[in-house]
Chains A and B, each alone.
Chain A
């Protein structure tokens, strides 16, 4: 049996009164793309920063390639084996992209393959541009090139596509797939469902500093998404005991959502006839096959996108 590339055990991180990570454990097999999915503030970045030695755990243990990032000697060895794209970082504004790439190659003692790297991240015609004049997405792609230039075994990407346009996103996704083909281990944090679903072999859903579910995307959908999802708006709607058995219900204002267990047609019929009996008009009815987003809502009781707000569980 091969050893885990990353093993996190009972990780806790407190910043003063704030508990950012509240007992997270997981391990990542070599060659896996592992995604930490959750809202902002769920503890994803803190967990990732603990793995790369930027943050010391309050308690618990982290091992990356068998090395302990909190120990000086291990950390020094680890730094050569990992590549990191941080969300919270910056590069000197008056530096040109090419100069940064050359300097980082010197840091790692590897040949500066500036052109090749620039092409990989789609910056081949931006090499002479000052960092300060690059768009946020271009800076992110430069930062990705810096994470990859020494051919690391494990790559950590913190919200890699935040603020990226479609072009940047496609480039990043392509690189992730290429790294996977090379057998690298990847850990990425994201709050984009599509990204997690498309890239990750394994998804770890994080809420309030805890792991609330962990599996492959299809398994999460099969387990939590139900057989179908029904969404509708109905003013004055309420569910009774028999309707509750149809599936798992969420409510936010006049909006209702049910993750149906069993035959979707029966559920739909039950909902419609219940509304008719109450004399209520149903608007905006939608029935669809569940996706990862539905599973996420079913698991966490809230939408991933903060703007949509939490969908509160109805009182029992």
Chain B
């Protein structure tokens, strides 16, 4: 068995089964972020839609990173377990991590697609410019994805039922996006609250991603936050590895 071949085949299958053939999924993962971009840019832009959308685009992509981790991987794993799909995979000779990796790869490809679609509308309609270095943008995006996939997997590892996993994923994704500088600039909050919100890994990731992608900041200038995100990733991975069950 060629593990690499299986990984590619399973990733393609995931993309087809859980995205291309699922109208609801297309709506929520592509149409809604674009809708948000337009609504928020016009409603909150106060005439300066370019500045607003420059703020919003990395926020919307960042929110999708959270959602990929919590929903796309975490709640999905719990669903797969409850539907007794994981146990069937577990009995095949593929290394179990291959299945997990294919789920992550599928969400990463979807994330790349979401980012491109948002960037496309941003530059076409609002003349947004991406000042960042493409390599650095990719790296910070990957680190964020790793962090929230590992934290999301904790949900998949600890929570038994699909319903609670979905509820936890929603509770984490939606309010966090509003509190983590994704849609609302954090300095609109009173200083004490703002400073607390800056402790969230989601805030740190979205700020670093925004600085690097839109304002051309270097990875090094976000060094401490990148370090903290790495620690969250390690912690999430350790907890998931300890508690994850296939059956």
Q: Are B9 and A79 in touch, CB under 8 angstroms?
A: no
- Bound Cα distance from A52 to B2, whole angstroms: 24
* Chain B positions 14 through 27: 1 when the CB is less than 8 Å from some CB of chain A, otherwise 0: 00111001100000
| B-facing residues in A95-131 (Cβ within 8 Å) | 95, 99, 102-104, 106-109, 130
Give every chain B residue within 8 A of A91 (Cβ-Cβ): 85, 88
A89 within 8 A of partner (CB): yes
Cβ–Cβ < 8 Å partners of A88 in chain B: 84, 87
A76 to B17 Cα, complex, angstroms: 28
Hey, which chain A residues are within 8 Å of B90, CB to CB?
54
8 Å CB contact of A108 from B9, B84, B93: B93
Are A95 and B13 CB-contacts (below 8 A) given A89-B87, A106-B5?
yes
Q: Which of A221-272 contact B (CB under 8 A)?
A: none
B10 interface residue, CB < 8 Å from A? yes
B83 at the interface (CB under 8 A from A): yes
Q: Are A90 and B85 neighbours in the complex by a CB distance under 8 Å?
A: yes
B9 contact set on A, CB distance < 8 A: 102-103, 106
A54–B92 CB distance below 8 A: no
| Nearest B-chain residue to A110, judged by Cβ | B1
Which residues of chain A are near B197, meaning CB under 8 Å? none
Q: Which residues of A contact B85 (CB under 8 A)?
A: 89-92
B94 CB-CB contact with A under 8 Å: yes
Cβ of B2: which chain A residues have Cβ within 8 Å of it?
109
**A8 contacts the other chain (Cβ, under 8 Å)?**
no
Q: How far is the CB of A98 from chain B (nearest CB, A)?
A: 11
A94 touches B84 (CB 8 A): no
Whether A107 pairs with B93 at a CB distance below 8 angstroms is yes
Residues in chain B near residue A53, CB distance under 8 A: 91
Contact A94 B83 (CB under 8 A): no
- Which residues from chain A contact B1 at a C-beta distance below 8 Å? 106-109
| A99 surroundings in chain B (CB, below 8 A) | 13, 16-17
B247 touches A55 (CB 8 A): yes
Q: Does A310 contact B (CB under 8 A)?
A: no
In the complex, which residues of chain A have a beta carbon less than 8 angstroms from the beta carbon of B92?
Answer: 79, 104, 107-108
Cβ of A298 within 8 Å of any chain B Cβ, yes or no, is: no
Contacts of B91 in A (CB 8 A): 52-54, 79, 82, 84, 86
Interface string of B78-89 (1 = CB under 8 A from A): 000001110110
CB distance from B103 to the nearest CB of A (A): 12
- Cβ contacts under 8 Å, A93 to chain B: 17
Contact (Cβ within 8 A) A94 B21: yes
**Docked complex: B54-79 residues within 8 A CB-CB of A:** none
A170 on the B face (CB < 8 A): no
Residues of B within 8 A of A80 (CB): 93
User: How distant is the Cα of A90 from the Cα of B88 in the complex, in angstroms?
Assistant: 8
Contacts of B5 in A (CB 8 A): 106
Instruction: Report the separation of the CA atoms of residues A109 and B5 in the bound assembly, to the nearest whole angstrom.
Output: 10
Extra contacts, 15 of them, besides A79-B93, A95-B17 (Cβ < 8 A), are A54-B91, A79-B92, A82-B91, A88-B84, A90-B84, A90-B85, A94-B21, A99-B13, A104-B92, A106-B1, A106-B5, A107-B1, A109-B2, A109-B93, A146-B88
Interface residues of B (CB under 8 A from A): 1-2, 5-6, 9-10, 13, 16-18, 21-22, 83-85, 87-88, 90-94, 247
Can you list 9 A-B pairs with a CB-CB distance of less than 8 A?
A53-B91, A80-B93, A86-B84, A86-B87, A92-B85, A94-B17, A94-B21, A107-B93, A146-B88
- Closest 6 A-B residue pairs measured CB to CB? A109-B1, A94-B21, A107-B92, A94-B17, A89-B84, A89-B88
* Chain A positions near chain B (C-beta within 8 angstroms): 52-55, 76, 79-80, 82, 84, 86, 88-95, 99, 102-104, 106-109, 130, 146
